[in-house]
Structure 1
Amino acid sequence: MQLKPINQQVVAVVGASSGIGRETALRFAARGAKVVVSARSKSGLDSLVDEIQRAGGEAVAIVADVADFQQVKAIADYTIEQYGRLDTWVHAAATGILAQFAQITPEEFKRVIDVNLMGQVYGAMVALPHLKREGRGALIHISSMEGVRSLPLQSPYSAAKHGVEGFIESLRVELAHEKMPISVTSIKPAVINTPFYNKVRTKLGVKPTGIPPYYEAGLVADAILYVAEHPTRDFIVGDVGRILDVLQRLSPELVDALLVAVGDLGQRTNEPKSEADPDNVFEPIEGYNKVEGDFGHLVVPSITDWLDKNPMLKWGAVTSTALGALALFNAYMSNSDDGL
């Protein structure tokens, strides 16, 4: 399967007003792609298009809520209206609620599922006919390591990301059976320093945080641009994500124990925040039209992301990671046997 060079592509980036989506749109445009950006925040999209155009890139914007199928369809229709085709669809829109499951209402849980899962389903539904007509293309779904391993206090987000993984696995096989040269990729970031934790709803009494370390949004954007040219099944972003993937395969019980120890306190800052404070679960909020979040001091480099871009070297490193995780597992089991 061969995909077009980025400078020959028309790319739709959904969830582009801030964070990963914004950085991705900027990088596609800088590489010469024609970019259609979408999100709920008009101010965020306007500032993004202006930034792209001032840098010499080409972009147009359309406001849409991904929980509404007709609005998602309008993104695809607008892309065809503007540029006549679609080559790559990147779906990054997401929201969340950090709270104990017992504190989450049915309406809140459903809304996160509608945005984080059904939005991605709708995106694939509207993009696929255009990709099939072109005879090739890429669907790039921004999932999460929470699609591999759920976290406490994020039950609706984790449920949605597990749903994304199940959906695209099924879709990928169907397209392969049709012999349709469309790449379907799951990008699975670890914790990324974006405004996500500023914008989500919290019932913790404090501003939430991801469990450190954090990684830069640019690492995810690099992965997205790579898979837009190189068909790839899965791409984990961040060293910790790869370690978590191995540990979850070896022993979910070990990961349970680790999360019992750090999963609750590790997602709380010391900064008070009320449940009544503005959030983006049902409506967009202003003031976060940027890539980076508030946790730059916790950002670390990732040294293994290049492995997925160099498959010949990947498996040796995977074996080393697995052996290290196995040693940790054995130590845990030994301590358990000793009653610690």
Structure 2
Amino acid sequence: MNNEVVVITGASAGVGRATARAFARRGARIGLLARGRDGLDATRRELEDMGAEALALPTDVADADQVERAAEEVERAFGPIDVWINNAMVTVYSPILEMKPAEYRRVTEVTYLGYVHGTLSALRRMHPRDRGVIVQVGSGLAHRGIPLQSAYCAAKHAIKGFTDSLLAELHHDESHVRVAMVDLPAINTPQFDWARSRMPRRPQPVPPILQPEVAAEAILSAIDQRRARSWLDFSTAKLILADRVVPASLLDRYLAKNAYDGQQSDEPAEPHARDNLDSPVPGDHGARGRFDASARRRSAQLWMSQHRAGLAAMVLGVGLLGGLVAMRIRANGWA
């Protein structure tokens, strides 16, 4: 995978930043897209210190023309794009009755249409070449909406529907362009410090929480294992499966009771905190948020997914050994 050309949106912080580091370690040349110049430049310097080539491109993914220009610049600098990762997002923590139409529009333009714009720019290049990978960084909330994040949940649901349609069309075309949708659980990123919020206490990810490096590992695994759809961690699987099997009325009541407090820490909200909905928050915010103490650095489910062939062989071997022992016992009249 050395010298692959990768584009990552939302690359200046959080999961995007951790994913950029992961690709840098395997020798990729990386186009970094985000709005904030401070974070982009810091990420570029970090990757260059790791020995990677990186290009920082200030881009608002809500603007299709900006995304297309960034794609052109990446290919001009590095050559054909091999992997495009759609990851940029914004959200608003607020009851629906207090939401403003402009906030719904902005979250939709970034968190959903940003993925559409990125996918279209990638497809324009990959489809004629009949190769390449597009990664949609999704969420368990693409399958089940929760209170206080209606705009974000709706955008993630839209990404899932768009991606399902895209996969079907690529199969119809017998295209070798691949798509991977990786649904994430709660991740310790800076978004909980800069998201717009009307809650009385500071936002937090709903436990259990994983570090962004685990999400980056899951993204690379989905690419390498050629998986079209994957869920990171048992917590994501539980949410998705609960939505499929638990009566909706019971799940609604459960979320009504638990999801309000679950998304708020014990710290009071900062009354004049700056948010990143309409413009980036200045500074370099890194990959991790403020929840290091409670965030896990490993996922048993991811490990099992990465080693499923070996685990299947082990189970088969144990089954065969058990069968041979049983046959030996019967042949010797021990049972």
- The residue that corresponds to 2:101 in the other structure is 106
What is the rounded CA distance, in whole Å, between the counterparts of 1:25 and 1:202 in structure 2?
28
| Structure 1 alignment gaps of length 5 or more | 1-5, 316-340
What per-residue deviation string (whole Å, max 9, x for no partner) do you get for residues 21-44 of structure 1? Answer: 001011101101111111001111
Q: Does 1:266 align with 2:262?
A: yes
Q: Is the 8 Å Cα contact of residues 201 and 275 (structure 1) preserved in structure 2?
A: no
Q: 2:209 is paired with a residue of what secondary structure?
A: coil
Q: Report the CA distance between 1:256 and its aligned residue.
A: 2.1
Q: 2:283 is paired with a residue of what secondary structure?
A: coil
- The residue that corresponds to 2:301 in the other structure is 304
Q: Report the CA distance between 1:306 and its aligned residue.
A: 2.5
What is the rounded CA distance, in whole Å, between the counterparts of 1:201 and 1:288 in structure 2?
18
What is the rounded CA distance, in whole Å, between the counterparts of 1:314 and 1:249 in structure 2?
27
What is the rounded CA distance, in whole Å, between the counterparts of 1:288 and 1:80 in structure 2?
26
Residue 193 (structure 1) aligned to one of 185, 188, 195: 188
What is the rounded CA distance, in whole Å, between the counterparts of 1:313 and 1:185 in structure 2?
23
| Structure 2 alignment gaps of length 5 or more | 313-335
What is the rounded CA distance, in whole Å, between the counterparts of 1:148 and 1:228 in structure 2?
22
Partner AA of 1:115 in structure 2: V
What is the rounded CA distance, in whole Å, between the counterparts of 2:229 and 2:306 in structure 1?
11
Q: 1:7 is paired with a residue of what secondary structure?
A: coil
Q: Report the CA distance between 1:94 and its aligned residue.
A: 0.4
- The residue that corresponds to 1:58 in the other structure is 53
- The residue that corresponds to 2:252 in the other structure is 256
Partner AA of 1:32 in structure 2: G
What is the rounded CA distance, in whole Å, between the counterparts of 1:17 and 1:216 in structure 2?
16
Q: Report the CA distance between 1:135 and its aligned residue.
A: 2.0
- The residue that corresponds to 2:170 in the other structure is 175
What is the rounded CA distance, in whole Å, between the counterparts of 1:181 and 1:276 in structure 2?
50
What is the rounded CA distance, in whole Å, between the counterparts of 2:45 and 2:284 in structure 1?
16
Q: Report the CA distance between 1:253 and its aligned residue.
A: 3.5
Partner AA of 1:123 in structure 2: G
- The residue that corresponds to 2:10 in the other structure is 15
Q: Is the 8 Å Cα contact of residues 42 and 284 (structure 2) preserved in structure 1?
A: no
Q: Report the CA distance between 1:136 and its aligned residue.
A: 0.9
Q: Report the CA distance between 1:274 and its aligned residue.
A: 4.4
Describe the shift of the 1:231–1:53 C-alpha distance in structure 2 as closer, same or farther (beyond 3 A): same
Residue 134 (structure 1) aligned to one of 125, 129, 134: 129
Which structure is larger by alpha-carbon Rg, 1 or 2? 2
Partner AA of 1:84 in structure 2: G
Partner AA of 1:16 in structure 2: A
Q: Does 1:215 align with 2:210?
A: yes
Superposed CA RMSD: 1.7
Q: Is the 8 Å Cα contact of residues 234 and 301 (structure 2) preserved in structure 1?
A: yes
- The residue that corresponds to 2:221 in the other structure is 226
Q: Is the 8 Å Cα contact of residues 38 and 283 (structure 2) preserved in structure 1?
A: no
1:273-292 correspondence to structure 2 within 5 Å: 273-274=269-270, 276-292=272-288
Q: Report the CA distance between 1:288 and its aligned residue.
A: 4.5
Partner AA of 1:236 in structure 2: W
Describe the shift of the 1:314–1:94 C-alpha distance in structure 2 as closer, same or farther (beyond 3 A): farther
- The residue that corresponds to 1:37 in the other structure is 32
Q: Report the CA distance between 1:148 and its aligned residue.
A: 1.0
Q: Does 1:203 align with 2:198?
A: yes
Q: Is the 8 Å Cα contact of residues 14 and 212 (structure 2) preserved in structure 1?
A: yes
Q: Is the 8 Å Cα contact of residues 15 and 21 (structure 1) preserved in structure 2?
A: yes
Relative to the length of structure 1, the TM-score reads 0.87
Q: 1:291 is paired with a residue of what secondary structure?
A: coil
Q: Is the 8 Å Cα contact of residues 199 and 280 (structure 1) preserved in structure 2?
A: yes
Q: Report the CA distance between 1:151 and its aligned residue.
A: 1.1
Q: Is the 8 Å Cα contact of residues 308 and 314 (structure 1) preserved in structure 2?
A: no
Q: 1:263 is paired with a residue of what secondary structure?
A: helix
Q: Is the 8 Å Cα contact of residues 235 and 308 (structure 1) preserved in structure 2?
A: no
- For these two proteins, the number of residue pairs brought into alignment is 311
What per-residue deviation string (whole Å, max 9, x for no partner) do you get for residues 306-326 of structure 1? Answer: 3333455789xxxxxxxxxxx
